[in-house]
Amino acid sequence: MISKVLRAPVAEDAIRARAYQIWEEEGRPEGQHELHWQRAVEWLASHVPAPTNPAPRAKAPKAKLAPKKK
């Protein structure tokens, strides 16, 4: 599950990779996977830039119907 802490959508693979990195940095301790996962989510939330909203697309002008011929 991806936490609501994230400002930007982050792939689960990115969280997994960061959690693994944290686990290795701490000497590969057993039984702390949930802590490492949460720390990875928090780290990514603070290091991944928030997505920017693209400029809204201009609407195409509505086509006018030709007058009916009598």
Tell me, what's the pLDDT at 28?
96
54/4: higher pLDDT? 54
Please answer whether residues 50 and 10 qualify as being in contact, where contact means their C-beta atoms are separated by less than 8 angstroms.
no
Alpha helices in 1-70, H assignment, sequence order = 12-25, 33-47
Tell me, what's the pLDDT at 19?
95
Q: Give the global pTM.
A: 0.57
**What is the mean predicted confidence (pLDDT) over 34-58?**
81
**What is the mean predicted confidence (pLDDT) over 49-66?**
69
Question: pLDDT grade, residue 69 (50/70/90)?
Answer: confident
